[in-house]
Chains A and B, each alone.
Chain A
Amino acid sequence: MLILHCPCCGVDAAEIELAPGGEAHLTREGPGSSDAALEAYLFTRDNPRGVVFERWRHAYGCGKWFLAARDSVTMEVYGTYSAQTHAPPQEILDRIADRHPDRAKAL
C-alpha cells in the first residue's frame, strides 16, 4: 500500500486517502484532431514495467490532483509534483536517470 507525498498540502497520504487517475501528461485531442490521434488520446496507454508518471488525487484530504513518478515494479517513488505542468520537473528526471542509467542512455 503506497504512501505518496501530496505536494499541494504537504501530507504524506496513504493509498486509501488517494484516488488514482491513470497516466499523466496526456495531450487532449479535441475537434479537428485525426482519428488516430483521438484513439491514442482516449485508449492507448503505455503501462510500462518500470518508470511511470501518474495522476493522483488527494481525494480524502485537500482534494487536489498531483502527479507522481514511480516505479511500477519496485514501487520506488521518484517524486510527486504539481498537476499544473506539462512535463516532469528536471529534478525528478535526474533522479530517475540516476536510478536507471540504462534508461537514461536509451533516451
Chain B
Amino acid sequence: MSTRLATGGRFTDRGKQIGFTFNGRRFTGFQGDTLASALLAGDQILVGRSFKYHRPRGIVASGSEEPNALVGLGQGARFEPDQRATTTELFDGLVAESQNHWPSLAFDVGEINAKLARFLPAGFYYKTFLWPRAFWKHIYEPVIRRSAGLGKAPHPEVRDADRYEHFHAHTDVLIVGGGVAGLQAARNAARAGVQVLLLEQTAHWGGRTPVDGGTIEGLAPEAWVTQAVAELAALDNVRMRLRCMGAGVYDHGYALGYERLTDHKPGAPGPRHRLWRIRARQIITATGALERPLSFAGNDVPGVMLASAVRDYVVNYGVAPGDRTVVVTNNDDAYRTAILIKTSGLDVPAILDARPMGGGALMQQARDLGIRVEPGRGVSKVLGGARVTGVAVCDQAGGGSMLEEIPCDAVAMSGGWSPVVHLWSHCGGKLTWDADGAFFRPDPSRAPTGADGTPFVIVAGSANGHLGLQEALCCADGAGKDAVEAIGCCLEESPVPKADAVAEAPLMPVWLMPQGARADLRMKAFLDYQNDVKVSDIQLAAREGYESVEHAKRYTTLGMATDQGKLSNIHGLAILSDALGAPIPQVGTTTFRPPYTPISFGAIAGEARDAVFQPLRRTAMQDWHEANNAAWEIVGQWRRPYCYPRPGESRHAAVNREINATRESLGLLDASTLGKILVKGPDAGRFLDMMYTNMMSTLPVGKCRYGLMCNENGFLMDDGVVVRLSEDSWLCHTTSGGADHVHAHMEDWLQCEWWDWKVYTANLTEQYAQIAVVGPNARKLLEKLGGMDVSKEAMPFMTWAEGSLADTPARVYRISFSGELSYEIAVPANRGRAFWGKLLEAGAEWNITPYGTEALHVMRAEKGFIMIGDESDGTVIPQDLGLHWAISKKKEDFLGKRAQQRPDMARDDRWQLVGLETLDGSVLPDGAYALAAGKNANGQRNTEGRVTSTYYSPTLNKGIAMGLVKNGPDRMGEVLSFTAEAQDETRDELSTVEAKIVSPVFFDPKGEKQDV
C-alpha cells in the first residue's frame, strides 16, 4: 500500500497536522504536503477517471506535468475545476473532489466505454456522428458532453471570491526556474550588477537536485541551494519570486509570470493570483527536464508512476507509493529510485532494464544492495484494475510473451528525460534532435530574436539537454555570463562550481514496450493519459493518412488536453515516425504555445471585474441622474440616461411624458457627452474645409453650421454643429461616441498629410458640461436666470454668444436637435452640477422635465434628423440621406469627395432616405426589410429597403420611421411590405407589415417652432 514513512520529508513539518477531505472522506496530511502527497500518504491511489474510457487513474507525476490527478478544488465562490493535485499545496480545510465519474469514483457507469474501446478509436467522434445531422444538437452532443470531459465550470451565478492583479516589471535578465541551474545563472548575472528577476514555479528553491543527490562545491545540494539563495537574496539588484511560473515568452523580450499568492492559504488578504507582465532584455530559461513514461500495456493503472516522482514523494514528503515497487527503465537514472526505496526499508522485487546490457555504476550499486536486476527485460502488461497487483515480465525485444509474473503494488517507470523547451519555443526558438539523449533540445543557432534582431533567450541546465549535474552547472554558468554580455556588460572570470555525481551509462530509446508489442497490448499502452490516446490510435492515424504531426495530433487529440502533452508528445511523435518510416526529426514537433500550464482567467483579467470591469465615463451631472432613477443607455463607455421613470411608471410612459413636456413647455438634456474639438490656427479654415463636406472657412464668427464628415472612402463618418469662435478658431461638435475618433482622425491628417499647415487641435469634450434647454419656454427660463440677452434679435437661430448665466460663465449655442426653441449651454464642467441644479430650480414654474436619450431620439426622428449609427452604418454616403445641401460643390477637394465620384456612389437606384408610416399606425420593427419580388441567387427573398429608425411618436400619436429605400425619394406615397417582428415559422410566407413612403420630416416641416 501507499503510505507515510516513519521519517523523512524535506518539505513536510510533521509537527503540523492538516485536515482535508477528498470526495467527502476525511484525510490528514502535514504542513508542506501537496494534495497528491497527502492522498498517497492516505493510500488514496485512485484519484480520477479518464476522459474517454473512464478508466481508473492514479497519480503519475509529482509536478506540473501531472496528467491524471485533476480535481475540483474548493467550494462555492472558491470552487475551481481541473486543479492538479501535484501542484496544490495542502491547507487546513481543503476540499477536493474527483472529476469525470458517475455515479462514484469507485463504481463508474462510463467504464463501459472502456469495454467498447475497440469501437472508440481515433477520429471516432468525427466518423460516427455525422448523420443524421439533426441528431447532433439534441442527442449526440449532450450525451458526449456528459460522458466525456473534465471538471465542471463553476455555477454561472457564483462570483469568484478572490481578487487578481497584474504587475508590470522591467528587468535586464529574467531567469525562469529556480533549480540549481537557475540559481547558478542568477549568481553569475547578478555579479555583473544588472537587474535580475528569478522565478520559480514551486514553493521551493533548488529543483530536483536535492532529491537526485550528488554534491556541489563539496556541499550536499540542499545546503548549496540554501547558500546560493541567501547570497542572491542579499543582493539589491536581484528579485526572487517563489510560486511564480514563467508562463510564456513573446516578442521583444515580453514574458508572463503567473504568481499564485494565496492558493495555499485561501482567504488570506491580498490578491489570489498576480500576472507578471515582464519586459526583459535577456531571458534565461532554466526550466529543467521532465521524465517520460514508458509505453506498455496498463501503464495507466493506478500505482504506475514516474520513477522520479516516486523519488520525490519519498524524499520531499516522506511518502512511499508502494510496499513492493518494480522499477522499469531504459536508463540509469531510475536506479536512483530503486536504491532510495530499498534503503528506505521497502521492497524492490526487480528492476526491469530494457537495455540488453543494463546500466553502469548505479546498476552495480543496486545489485550490491541485493536488488534483482533484469537487463533486456520489460513489462508486457501491468496486472490489476483499480490498482497495480503485479507486472507480467517479457523480453523487450519480443512481442510480449510473459516470462514471469512479479507481484507488486507499485511500478516506477522511466523512459528517459525531455528538456522543457516550451519557453524557448514560444517565440520561435527552433529545436534539434539529440540522438544520444533521444530528445529535442534547443538549437542555439536558431534562437528567438528580439527587436534588434539578436537572440534574447538562452537556455540553461537540463532544459538545454545537459542532464548531468556538472554539465548543467557549466551550462547555467555560461548562460548567466552570456546574458549579461548580450546586454553589454563584462564579467570577470570565475570558476564554475564543481559538482560530483555518479556517472551514468547511456540510455536506449524505448518508444514501445516490448518493442514488437502485440495489438492487444498496444491497445492498452497509453501515450496521452488525459485524452486517452493509445499507441494503436497514433498508428491508426498514420494508416489513415494523417502524416503531418499537426494533423495526427488533432485527429487523435494527442497532447490536446490541459497538460498539453508534457508526458506524451515525444512518445507519440516516435510512434508516428515509426509508423511512417520517417526519422523523428523529420516528423518534427507540434507547436508549443503559451501558457506553459493553464493559468486562471482571474489572473488574465487582473483587476478588471465588477465596478472596474471597464471604464465608465461620468458627466458632471451623473450623480443627479443616478439619484433620479435614470434608466441607462450605453453609448460607448458613457452611460447616458435613457429616461427617468417615476415610481410606477414604465419606460415607455416616461419617454412619452418627457417628450410631451418638452414639446409643450420645457425640457432639459445632459448633452455633455457630445464631442467638442477646438481647431485653431491660420490654416484652420482650410483644414476644416478638407475635414467636412461643407464649406467651414466661410462660416462667419458668431455663427453655427451643421457639418458632415466623411472618410476617404466617401462614407459618412460623423456629424455635428461647427461653431466659428474667432477669426482663427472653430469649435467642432461631434457625436458622443465619435469624439475621440474624430480627434484622432484630425490629428492623423494634420501630422501625416498636411504637416506644414499651421493648425492646432484640442479635445475639449471633458472641459465643459453641456446642457440643452429645450421647448417653448426655454427662452423664458434663460431670461429668468439672467445675465445674457437671449432674445431672437440678439441671438438668432444658429448663432452663439458668450457671457454669464446665473453667475456661471457660459457659452450659449442656439441650435436645435428637436425642432423646438432650444439653447445648448456649455459651462465649465466643475460648475456643471450646480448649473443643472439652478436650471431645475428656476424651471420649476414651467414644469421643467429632464429627458433622456430616447426622447431625444424620438424628437429628432419626428423632425427627420439623421443619427450617425442609425441612418449611417459605414456604407452610407451623405447623398443617400438627402444631405446634398451639406456637400459643397464649390470646394475642389474634401475627404471622401473623390470616392463619392465612383460610379457606384453616383448610381441613381441607391437606397435613399425616406419617412415610413404604417397603414395601421403601428410601430415598424427596427431593421425590418422591405420585400421585393423574386429571390436572389442564394434563394433568399429580394429586398429593396430597410428601416433605420422607428419610434412611437407621442406628438403625432402613431408610429413613425425612417428607412433607406431603393429610389425612395421618387416613390412618395407608394406602399411597401416590411418583414414583421414575429414570424410564423409554420407558414412558408413571411408575415409582413404595410407602410407608406412619406417625407422623413413628420413634424413642423417648415421649422417654425425652432426659429421663434
Contacts and interface: CB of A to CB of B under 8 A. Distances in A.
Nearest to B750: A65
A59 interface: yes
B751 A76 contact: no
A57 B252 CA distance: 19
Interface in A27-72: 28-33, 35, 38, 41-42, 55, 57, 59, 63-65, 71
A104 interface: no
A89 interface: no
Interface of A: 1-3, 14, 19, 21, 28-33, 35, 38, 41-42, 55, 57, 59, 63-65, 71, 74-77, 83-84, 99
Contacts of B892: 31
Contact of A65 (B713, B748, B893, B901): B748
Contacts of A3: 252-253, 279, 451
Given A31-B897, A59-B744, A99-B453, 16 more contacts: A1-B250, A3-B253, A14-B279, A28-B753, A30-B897, A31-B901, A32-B898, A33-B898, A57-B744, A63-B747, A65-B747, A74-B449, A74-B453, A75-B252, A76-B450, A83-B751
Nearest to B897: A31
16 contacts: A2-B251, A14-B279, A30-B897, A30-B898, A31-B898, A35-B902, A42-B713, A55-B752, A63-B747, A65-B752, A74-B428, A74-B449, A75-B451, A76-B451, A76-B452, A84-B751
Interface of B: 250-254, 279, 428, 449-453, 712-713, 744, 747-748, 751-753, 755, 892-893, 897-899, 901-902
Q: Which 8 A-B pairs have CB atoms at the shortest separation, nearest pair first?
A: A76-B453, A84-B755, A1-B254, A65-B751, A75-B251, A77-B451, A3-B252, A83-B752
Nearest to B740: A59
Contacts of B899: 38, 42
Contacts of A57: 744, 747-748
Nearest to A75: B251
B712 A42 contact: yes
Contacts of A42: 712-713, 899
A42 B904 CA distance: 15
Contacts of A29: 898
A63 B892 CA distance: 30
B276 to A, nearest CB: 14
B252 A2 contact: yes
A1 B251 contact: yes
Contacts of B751: 64-65, 83-84
Contacts of A21: 748, 752
Contacts of A84: 751-752, 755
A67 to B, nearest CB: 9
A75 to B, nearest CB: 5
A83 B755 contact: yes
A28 B713 CA distance: 12
Nearest to B427: A75
B457 to A, nearest CB: 13
B752 A1 contact: no
Nearest to B255: A1
A33 B428 CA distance: 44
Nearest to A85: B755
A8 to B, nearest CB: 9
A103 to B, nearest CB: 14
Nearest to B711: A42
A35 B901 CA distance: 9
Contact of A77 (B452, B755, B898): B452
Contacts of B252: 1-3, 75
B887 to A, nearest CB: 13
A11 to B, nearest CB: 13
A30 B710 CA distance: 14
A89 to B, nearest CB: 16
A65 B253 CA distance: 24
A37 to B, nearest CB: 9
B712 to A, nearest CB: 6
Contacts of A55: 752
Nearest to A16: B277
